[in-house]
């Protein structure tokens, strides 16, 4: 039994590590360099995006979120490797929420936020600009959740009240109908006696 699923880390990770992907064991070396960058300041990204992403990490910290960001300048062939990158970074940084972005894809990992919230954040983090993507992600995961439990309770109570009211009206209607029949019979009986 495998204790964990193997991760697919794409060669595009080497773009930010500055290591030639043709070197033997390059992807592992690149991932180690990314982990070192993230440990240092919470960010591993191309130089032009680092300062903006550091600010997003600082903003998240002020909001009580331990955010780590990995920004890859080129898209991998598919989007799932970004979640694998985020998972590996998250496992090295317990309690952290990790966003891995490329120009068109995003992947996340967190033990603090549920998957629905993370995927909503991923949806708005596909802008092509890593700083804008990270800001969008942070804003989305900070939005308050819709109170589904409250809505469910209100709906259940409303249906129960409607059912109870319907039953009361049904019983009352039958009672009025049967008393009307008796009144009609009594009047008819009284009329026949008088003649």
Tokens of 144: 């308050």
> 3-state class of 8 per DSSP?
coil
pLDDT tens per residue across all 195 residues of the chain: 445 555 688 889 988 888 888 888 888 899 999 999 999 999 999 999 999 999 999 999 999 999 999 999 999 999 899 999 999 999 999 999 999 999 999 999 999 999 999 999 999 999 999 999 999 999 999 988 777 788 899 999 999 999 999 999 998 888 888 876 666 555 555 555 555
Q: How far is CA 170 from CA 58, 158, 167, 179, 183, in A?
A: 63, 18, 5, 14, 20
Reference 128, options 59, 178, 70, 74; nearest CA is 74
pLDDT of residue 34: 95
Q: DSSP letter for 113, please.
A: S
Q: How far apart (Å, rounded) are the C-alpha atoms in residues 41 and 136?
A: 20
* Among 121, 30, 124, 123, residue whose Cα is nearest residue 72: 30
Token pair recorded at residue 139: 């804003």
d(CA 98, CA 83): 9
User: Which among 159, 9, 160 has a CA at the least distance from the CA of 77?
Assistant: 9
Cα–Cα distance for residue pair 179/174, rounded to 1 Å: 9
CA separation, residue 118 to residues 5, 7, 47, 98, 109 (Å): 20, 19, 26, 10, 8
């Amino acid at each position: 039994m495998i204790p964990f699923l193997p991760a697919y880390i794409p060669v595009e990770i080497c773009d930010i590590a500055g290591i030639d992907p043709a070197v033997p064991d390059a992807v592992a070396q690149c991932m180690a360099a990314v982990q070192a960058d993230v440990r240092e300041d919470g960010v591993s990204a191309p130089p032009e995006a680092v300062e903006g992403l550091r600010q997003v990490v600082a903003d998240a910290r002020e909001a009580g979120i331990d955010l780590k960001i990995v920004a890859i300048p080129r898209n991998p062939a598919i989007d799932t490797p970004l979640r694998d990158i985020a998972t590996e970074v998250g496992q090295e940084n317990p309690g952290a929420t990790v966003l891995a972005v490329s120009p068109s894809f995003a992947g996340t990992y967190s033990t603090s936020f549920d998957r629905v919230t993370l995927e909503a954040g991923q949806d708005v983090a596909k802008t092509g600009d890593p700083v804008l993507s990270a800001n969008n992600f942070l804003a989305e995961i900070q939005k308050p959740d819709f109170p589904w439990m409250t809505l469910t309770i209100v709906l259940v109570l409303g249906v129960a009240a409607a059912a109870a009211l319907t039953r009361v009206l049904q019983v009352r209607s039958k009672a009025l109908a049967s008393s009307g029949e008796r009144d009609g019979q009594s009047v008819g009986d009284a009329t026949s006696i008088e003649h």
